[in-house]
Amino acid sequence: MHEPVRHIEWMGDARSGHLRLLDQTRLPGEVAWLACRDVETVRQAIMRLSVRGAPAIGIAAAYGCVLGAQQPDGRRAFAASAERLAASRPTAVNLFRAIDRMKRCAAGVPDDAALPARLLDEAKAIHEEDRAACRAIGEHALLLLRELTGDRLHLLTHCNAGALATGGIGTATAPMYIAAELELPLTVYADETRPLLQGSRLTAWELRQAGIDVSIIADSAAATVMAQKRIAAVITGADRIAANGDVANKIGTYSLAVLARHHGLPFVVAAPTTTIDLTCACGEKIPIEHRAAEEITAGFGRATAPPGAAAFAPAFDVTPAELITAIVTERGVIRPVNPAALAAQFDSC
Ligand code: MRU
C-alpha cells in the first residue's frame, strides 16, 4: 500500500513541540519543510498556500491552536489564536469546523495546565479522523466510479484534492490510490489548474510518487479531452457543500461540470462530511475567497500581463447541484444530489 508523505506533523510534546509542514509552494521542485513555532507562522502558511486544501487547513489550524495554548497566558492566547486562524481563508468550511471543535475542547478543560496536552490530543484526533474518512471515501467512490464508467477508469480531476490536501489519501484521489493498490487499469488526467497550478505541481507530483499514470492538461483542453472520449468521468473535491448540494471548489470546477453535462459524462464530488455546511442554504451563500491580482498577472514572480493590468481572481466557484451526479463522503454516496438526500444522510452534521 502506498503511504503518502506526512505533510502535516506535530513534532515533540504539547508544551514545547511545534508543527512541521511540507511547504507546498515549493513543490514539485523542492521538498522543503516549514517549522511553525507560533500561530502567526501557521496563519501565514495557510494564507500563502504552503498548506492548502479544505481538510488540510482545518488540521493545520487545529495544531496551530495548540501553539497558541503554549503561551504563558495559555487560555487567552488560545482564544486569540483561534480567531486569527479563522481569519486566514474564508471558503473551506473544514477550517471553521476544526477551530470550533478545538474551542469546544478547550471549554471542557478547566485546568489551564492541562490545556496544551488536551488540545494536542484533539488536533491529532481531527487529523486521524480525516485520514480514516479519506480511505472510506475512496472505497465508496471506487465502487461508484466502476459502476458509472463500466470499469473504464479514465478520470479527469481538477486542482489538488489529494493526499496533500488532507490527512490521508485525499478525496478525489482516494479512489485512484485504491484502484492502484488493486492493480486496476487506471488513467488520470489532471487539469493544471490556473493560476497556481495545484493540478500540475501537486496532483501530478503525488500521483507520480505512487506510480500512477497521470497526464497533465491545460485547463482549456478539458473540452477536447472529453470530446475525444479520453475520459469516462470527472471527480473533484470540495471546499464547502451547501444544504442544497451546490459545491464550492477551486475555480474552474464549474466549467468542468458544464462540460461533463454536455458530453454526457458523470461528474462526481468527493468530500468528507466536515465539508458539508447545512447552515449554508445554497451556493450563493458560500463566501468566496478572492486572491491577489498578481497571482494571475505575475504568477510565480514573472510578469505575464502588462503593468497596471487589472485581474479578477476568485479562488473558487460554485457548481450547481443539478450538474453533480453524486457526492461521495465517508458515509456513502448521495445520489441524486438534492436537499432531501443531503439532509437524510447528514442531518447530524
Ligand atoms: O486553494 P486551494 O489549493 O486550497 O484549493 C483546494 C481545492 O479547491 C480542493 O479541491 C478542495 O480544497 C478539496 S481538498 C480535498
Q: Which CATH number goes with the domain that contains 88? A: 1.20.120.420
The pLDDT value given to residue 1: 75
CA–centroid distance, residue 264 to ligand 1 (Å): 25
Domain, as residue range, for 147:
139-347
- Active-site residues, by number, are 239
Measured from the CB, is residue 68 less than 6 Å from ligand 1?
A: no
CA–centroid distance, residue 335 to ligand 1 (Å): 22
Question: Do 47 and 173 share a domain, yes or no?
Answer: no
**Closest by alpha carbon to 53, among 202, 174, 190, 177?**
202
The pLDDT value given to residue 3: 86
Question: Do 67 and 169 share a domain, yes or no?
Answer: no
Residue 349 has pLDDT above 50, yes or no: no
Instruction: State how many domains the chain has.
Output: 2
Instruction: Work out the average pLDDT over 31-42.
Output: 98
Residue 334 CB contacts under 8 Å (≥ 6 apart), including other chains: 245, 326, 327, 328, 341, 342, 345
Average pLDDT, the chain: 97
Q: Which of 108, 129, 150 is the last residue of a domain?
A: 129
CA–centroid distance, residue 143 to ligand 1 (Å): 23
Is 148 in a helix, a strand, or coil?
helix
In angstroms, the CA 322 to CA 306 distance is: 39
Measured from the CB, is residue 315 less than 6 Å from ligand 1?
A: yes
Question: Do 124 and 186 share a domain, yes or no?
Answer: no
Phi and psi at residue 67, in whole multiples of 5°? -60, -40
Q: Is the pTM of this model over 0.95?
A: yes
Measured from the CB, is residue 93 less than 6 Å from ligand 1?
A: no
Residue 140 has pLDDT above 80, yes or no: yes
pLDDT tens profile 124-133: 999 999 999 9
Of all protein residues, the one whose alpha carbon is nearest to atom 15 of ligand 1 is: 161
Query: Does the CA dihedral 43-46-49-50 come out positive or negative?
Result: positive
Q: How many CB atoms lie within 10 A of CB 92?
A: 30
Measured from the CB, is residue 253 less than 6 Å from ligand 1?
A: no
In angstroms, the CA 337 to CA 349 distance is: 17
| Residue 342 domain flag | yes
Question: Do 151 and 198 share a domain, yes or no?
Answer: yes
Q: Which of 96, 111, 129 is the last residue of a domain?
A: 129
In angstroms, the CA 37 to CA 43 distance is: 11
Burial class (CB in 10 A: 0-12, 13-18, 19+), 263: middle
Instruction: Work out the average pLDDT over 214-220.
Output: 98
Of all protein residues, the one whose alpha carbon is nearest to atom 6 of ligand 1 is: 53
Q: Which of 107, 129, 151 is the last residue of a domain?
A: 129
* Side chain identity at residue 298, one-letter code: A
Residue 215 has pLDDT above 90, yes or no: yes
| Residue 3 domain flag | no
Band (347; pLDDT cuts 50, 70, 90): low
Residue 290 has pLDDT above 90, yes or no: yes
Greatest extent of the chain over all pairs of C-alpha atoms, in Å? 63
Instruction: Work out the average pLDDT over 310-330.
Output: 98
Measured from the CB, is residue 116 less than 6 Å from ligand 1?
A: no
CA–centroid distance, residue 322 to ligand 1 (Å): 21
* Side chain identity at residue 99, one-letter code: I
Q: Tell me, rounded to whole angstroms, the distance of Cα 231 from its chain centroid.
A: 23
Question: Do 152 and 40 share a domain, yes or no?
Answer: no
Measured from the CB, is residue 159 less than 6 Å from ligand 1?
A: yes
Question: Do 31 and 122 share a domain, yes or no?
Answer: yes
Q: How many CB atoms lie within 10 A of CB 39?
A: 26
Residue 221 has pLDDT above 60, yes or no: yes
pLDDT tens profile 256-276: 999 999 999 999 999 999 999
Question: Do 162 and 309 share a domain, yes or no?
Answer: yes
Measured from the CB, is residue 238 less than 6 Å from ligand 1?
A: yes
| Residue 134 domain flag | no
Question: Do 122 and 153 share a domain, yes or no?
Answer: no
CA–centroid distance, residue 92 to ligand 1 (Å): 8
- CATH number of the domain bearing residue 326: 3.40.50.10470
Q: To the nearest whole percent, how much of the chain has pLDDT over 70?
A: 99
Q: Output the nine-digit C-alpha cell for 77.
A: 492566547
The pLDDT value given to residue 2: 79
Best probe residue, ligand 1, of 25, 196, 249, 286 (max atoms within 8 Å of C-beta): 249
pLDDT tens profile 146-192: 999 999 999 999 999 999 999 999 999 999 999 999 999 999 999 99
Ligand 1, atom nearest to 172 Cα: 15
Measured from the CB, is residue 190 less than 6 Å from ligand 1?
A: no
| Residue 168 domain flag | yes
pLDDT tens profile 83-102: 999 999 999 999 999 999 99
Q: Tell me, rounded to whole angstroms, the distance of Cα 42 from its chain centroid.
A: 17
Question: Do 145 and 125 share a domain, yes or no?
Answer: no
CA–centroid distance, residue 250 to ligand 1 (Å): 6
Q: How many CB atoms lie within 10 A of CB 292?
A: 10
